[in-house]
Amino acid sequence: SGDDVDFRRLGLWTGMVWSEASEGTNGIGTCLAEARALTVHREQHFLARNIGLSCTVAPIWDAQGRLAAALDVSTCRSDLTPALLKLVAAATVEAAQRIEQRHFRAAFSHARILVADDDRGPRGLLAVDREDLVIGASRCARLAFGLTEQRLATPFPADDLLGRQERADDFSAGERGVVQRAMARARGNVSAAARMLGISRATLHRKLSRLQLDRPH
């Protein structure tokens, strides 16, 4: 199509090289070099052949927090306003973050994903195993919690990050949670819950009494 011809001519095609070493200042190459979202608008490009482009680019980080790619939105329109460029930039960053989150969830599909809300920036994701130990963290979570590769090399309690150390170290609270979850899954049937836990019905009754879970709420 006509658009394909234009895209090839402008270098917006599979296999084209947009490194700073090759093209000087440009959206894709500069984003990857500086590892940050940015816009290079028309005359801000280093090479004259690229000044007809406005390029908004956001980095994409993999599940290990490494720079993996960049998402580029480029246009040849000369009538772009600063307000429209801001909207394009915001949409590009949001799209890149969605790609990151999907990739992270796919990489840790066997784990439970916790969303760490942060009013100061995008939400970070933590991957935890069955024991609620952190086994992975997205780029945003690494920055928010100051997590290094060394810290993540050994799984550690998610509660240590989320400010619930006392609860995490309370063995009784942990046992209580296990019993409550079993009873909930069994819909209050003590015999069924005991089978789930691999203990006798009498043992479960004793635990319910000791943990004060046999009393009506």
Name, of 13-17, 28-32, 120-124, the range with top average pLDDT: 28-32
14 & 96 share domain: yes
151 & 97 share domain: no
DSSP string, 147-170: --HHHHTS-EEHHHHHT-HHHHH-
Per residue in 152-208, pLDDT (tens digit) is 999 988 888 887 654 545 666 678 878 888 888 888 899 999 999 999 999 988 888
Residue appearing with tokens 């979202």:
37
78 & 14 share domain: yes
Structure tokens at 84: 């429209």
Q: CA of 201: how far to CAs of 59, 187, 207, in Å? A: 56, 15, 10
Residue with more model confidence, 111 or 188: 111
**Kind and range of the H or E run holding 116:** strand 112-116
Cβ atoms of residues 57 and 27 within 8 Å: yes
94 & 157 share domain: no
Sequence-distant (≥ 6) Cβ neighbours of residue 138 within 8 angstroms: 61, 63, 65, 100, 101, 104, 124, 125, 126
- Check whether 10 has a pLDDT greater than 90: no
60 & 11 share domain: yes
153 & 183 share domain: no
Given pLDDT bands bounded at 50, 70 and 90, which one contains residue 30? very high
Query: How high is the pLDDT of residue 217?
Result: 46
51 & 97 share domain: yes
Measured from the Cβ of residue 190, the count of other Cβ atoms closer than 10 Å reads 16
| CA neighbor of 32 nearest in space, from 69, 73, 72 | 69
12 & 102 share domain: yes
Q: In the predicted model, what is the mean pLDDT of residues 136-143?
A: 95
Last residue in a domain, options 66, 91, 106: 106
**CA-to-CA distance for 125 and 209, rounded, in angstroms?**
38
**CA-to-CA distance for 66 and 205, rounded, in angstroms?**
50
Total-model pTM: 0.71
Please report, for the domain that includes residue 51, its CATH number. Answer: 3.30.450.40
Per residue in 35-92, pLDDT (tens digit) is 999 999 888 888 787 787 889 999 999 999 999 999 999 887 778 788 988 999 999 9
Domain range enclosing 112: 108-162
